[in-house]
Structure 1
């Protein structure tokens, strides 16, 4: 059984993997050593309500994401709501807050800087979509403690006959009674790329606003192959439609191929390496110092790709990984002419 501590301690010598099986998570929780905190990333995408205000974190108890959390979650988990943790702009659905604002949300969840955070989700892609987005959020702010995701999400947990609850206690409230001391170590720009950065000319003149053949970036497009190849449209019909389907120089590493069909978990390091090689690139080339920019439509699938790359190859390429959170929908809105390749 999983103990329902508010925070769980782990011996200093024990280091959790970035990808956890249900059994490994239970073992870590029951070790009762450095603080292990569970974050349920249940999220139902929808427009933010009219009452939404920048930097305000009042949660709607009738929110569908909240209701999904309440229906079944791991005991001791708190609900991490992506719609509250990020904000909307003219071009982004889930833009990162300045560090001091995000800190407030993390503290309201009762999180501390030395906590080891474990994210899990549910639904398509083995529940890894929104868990990965949360993982990359905290990585972008330089979380001082460890970060992990429950591989396969809540479905994997339940398949192993692990217990779930549909009630909340004081520690599982929308915002816990005692605020945490969590602090950001960096601004999110440390692990993300903006439209302005991506489209600016390199200092050495090796690339232009077309982002074509830029020596600075390697663009990893995480959208499904049909979207990348222009066989399926995912662009905003209310905006000017681009002539192509992807950015020049981008390579496709589809999110749909990052999850093992049988297990519902992330593919292995070997399978991921094979997938990347099939895309025509060698991410592990130590001589290649290009920044690896993961993108998709709105930053969610891009975060999943960045997370699995970080989990499997973090020591080799983690320092080069970035997510373009605005992704293709921002490019379409601001410079559709850049989407010129098919």
Structure 2
């Protein structure tokens, strides 16, 4: 008796299932971290800081990247001003947030001495490769302490988006091969400019510098708004938003991130500008009202705790806040 021929659709369905399985396992995620401003410098310049977390990319050293091994939680990459003359630094996620290696070690409240002890302990154990001459930093001149235990100083919002293995591997190769030497400039080569460049690596020609708003200066809130707006137009980005609260005890609560023109208005800098030139002051106000408000809608987002970071470190769930990325 001749063998029955399989329906022609079977090989096609099997191939489709294989493709879907490969595509599913080939995706990971990254997250833009918008860090709120704090302290005296945060009062003078309330734009804040930002960084990018990668689920699949880990830090072999603070200045060399590699693919993560199973069970590792990824790394945060960001630009700071003159940390041992490097342009960017990479840190494991939990040490970046809490200066510890395990969520169970994070205190529910930590005074300034406890935070200093946690940072010093982590620095001695893991950051010797940066060199002995790297300053700790303080409220005025920053140093290595600004990327160890960030959540003791400020609240952080994480804007998670999908990436692929090919994209992450290409970024690792590019950053390891590039010249990691600091050319920091507060106006045109700041932390937000660094992240704008990385986002353009994943979403080419999307995050461009513009004259208005903010006189062409890139800020964390501006980059975040553009990511939210892009994600609304491209559902495949799979954007999800999370709140990483500030650990109490070390500092007063951090403030919300502002644009340049919003900073000029809310901090009162626009008043002396009005005496110098009413036209300049009027231009700042118009710039803010027309272009520079950047609504993010962050009132109802999922809160992450040190022992429950799975929504960020694994394929989790979250919601784009209502109104986020809506046209001005």
- TM bracket, shorter-chain basis: under 0.3
TM-score w.r.t. the length of structure 1 is: 0.26
Structure having the higher Rg = 2
